Amino acid sequence: MPKKVVIVGGGFAGLNLAKKLSNNRHFEVTVVDINNYHFFPPLLYQVSTAFIEATNICYPFRRLFQGRQNVRFYMGKLLRVIPESNTIETDNGSLSYDYLVLAMGTETNFFGNENVIRSALPMKTVDEALNVRNHILLHAEEAIRAPSLPEKARLANIVIAGGGPTGVEMAGMLAEMSRNIVAKDYPEAAGNIASIYLIDGAPTLLGPMSTKAQKEAYQVLNKLGVKIILNTLVKDYVNDEVLLSNGEKLSSATLIWASGVVAREVVGLPKEAITRGRRILVDEINRVTGFTNIFAIGDQCAQTSDKDYPNGHPQLAQVAIQQGQLLAENLERLEENKPVKAFRYNNKGSMAIISKYKAVVDLPKGFFKGFFAWLVWLFIHIIPLVGFRNKLNLAYNWMWSFITNDPTLRLIIRPGKKENQSNKTAVVNS
């Protein structure tokens, strides 16, 4: 009988594992995800700034698995793992497994600040990116109607907490929009009243990247007018005031939180298997500590057996992809009683786009920046997209938006609430 492989999470790690196990007669694969689509997280910030549509970076799982005879999709949210019975519980039912693979990735880390949790805007999912887009556009409309300049500034100002790749890319995109679009879309506004702030507790932007990349990011964003505040933390967010650790207060109705992540919680695993950042401890083949048939891959795991990364791997897409692909090979080896292969991360470099025609690329053997780096960034981010149509649409949208400096996706779309619909029905019936 084929072994049941349940993969919880359809991101880079889980999807690459499922694809590599597809059409293998030894396995029945079930991919469990809270969404019915795979999406491409590195481009969420372009969705949130109305530069591209969400459909450009999403692809339905069921369409993706067509023709893969042994792969099925199960829509649901993981509630708990029950190792004693080799089952998992979801909000839509239970599933049994022979091998369980946890690949749920990370979620936003608010560091326990209740006010920030309540009022800041995270950007880890498509839903959250669309919420950021609606929030920014709605507040822009409010700002031009506001009666006083301080009130206009409060509504228009944007504070971004976190100077990593997401924060830098978000700040650069918003600065470009402010420069190229605001005057055209809002001619009734008297001058540019908005300020964009980028806050980070480290002494540099793009902490994991090279010194050259860090300096380039600072210079480009500074030239675009982004107000960069380093060596400073966001302590609180009260009544549309961002309170900083240096004592400064920033008036802003928009706080975008890109300041850190934590692995998604898995109920049912022993505390001995969990380490810093809620990551799950695994061995050299990504097997969870204390188990023989439960694995964790991608951002959710902490693997210290790789001699080049004794403190665990960076939470990057390439790590997740490579772990998913190797685990598929190792599961096949386990079924065939062959020796397994230890994971070793092949670092292919890192990159970040800063603004139009400006990007930085760190490679293991060098660094480059500018227009060529920007082209490389565009090319590299089209390749992993699932679906040929998505690649063409994204390439076209990018070309049009960069040429015109005026993408036409600034739509405020707010789904109606159920109670509103029921109230309308009651009025009609009466």
What's the domain count of the chain? 2
Instruction: Give the pairing type, strands 261-263 and 106-108.
Output: antiparallel
Using 50, 70 and 90 to split pLDDT, how confident is the model at 387?
Answer: low
Its sign, for the CA torsion 250, 118, 207, 196, is: negative
Cα 279 to Cα 281: distance, rounded to the nearest angstrom: 7
Instruction: Check whether 50 has a pLDDT greater than 70.
Output: yes
Element (H, E) at 366: strand 366-369
Residue 427: pLDDT over 60: no
Q: Are residues 305 and 270 in the same domain?
A: yes
The backbone region for 126, taken as left when phi is positive above 0, alpha when psi lies in -120 to 50, beta otherwise, is alpha
Residues 244 and 376 both lie in one domain: yes
- For residue range 213-236, list pLDDT tens digits in order: 999 999 999 999 999 999 999 999
346 in a structural domain: no
Instruction: State the pLDDT at residue 418.
Output: 59
In a domain, 255, yes or no: yes
pLDDT score of 344: 96
Q: Is 314 among the domain residues?
A: yes
Is residue 106 helix, strand or coil? Answer: strand
Residues 271 and 171 occupy one common structural domain:
no
Q: Residue 188 has what pLDDT? A: 77
For residues 273 and 396, state if they share a domain. no
Residues 364 and 396 in one domain: yes
- Mean of all residue pLDDT scores within the chain: 90
372/366 Cα distance (integer angstroms): 14
Identify the domain boundary among 283, 306, 335. 335
- The CATH number assigned to the domain holding 159 equals 3.50.50.100
- The pLDDT-based confidence of 419 (bands split at 50, 70, 90) is low
More confident residue, 21 or 355: 21
Give the single-character DSSP code of 83: G
Q: Name the band, by pLDDT with cuts 50, 70 and 90, for residue 394.
A: confident
Determine, yes or no, domain membership for 315.
Answer: yes
The reply to whether 156 and 228 lie within a common domain is: yes
Compute the average pLDDT of residues 267-276.
96
Per-residue pLDDT averaged across 383-411, rounded? 70
The dihedral over CA atoms of 297, 298, 302, 307, expressed in degrees to the nearest 10, equals 100
Q: What is the pLDDT of residue 268?
A: 97
Domain hosting residue 282, numbered range: 3-34+76-108+261-335
Residue 155 and residue 133 in one domain: yes
Residue 424 has pLDDT above 50, yes or no: no
**Higher pLDDT pick, 260 / 89:** 89
β-strands 301-303, 261-263 pairing: unpaired
Per DSSP, helices labelled H in 86-164 are 114-119, 126-145, 149-156
- Whether 303 maps to a domain, the answer reads yes
- Is there a single domain that holds both residue 245 and residue 181? yes
Average the pLDDT over 280-308 and give the result: 97
pLDDT of residue 422: 45
State the CB neighbour count (10 A cutoff) for residue 7. 29
**Mean pLDDT, residues 323-327:** 97
DSSP state letter for 209: S
Number of DSSP helices (H) and strands (E) in the chain, helices first: 13, 24
More confident residue, 195 or 179: 195
Looking at the structure, do residues 142 and 228 belong to the same domain, yes or no? yes
Residues 242 and 383 in one domain: yes
If asked whether residues 101 and 230 sit together in one domain, one would say no
AA letter at 387: G
> CATH no. for residue 314?
3.50.50.60
Q: Of all residues in the chain, what percent carry a pLDDT higher than 70?
A: 91
pLDDT at 327: 98
Condensed to tens digits (0 to 9), the pLDDT of residues 139-182 reads 999 998 999 989 999 999 999 999 999 999 999 999 988 887 88
Summarize the chain as % helix, strand, coil (round to 5). 40, 25, 40
Residue 411 covered by a domain: no
What is the torsional sign of CA 133, 235, 229, 154? positive
Mean pLDDT of 56-78: 94
CA nearest to 9, candidates 323, 228, 248, 223: 323
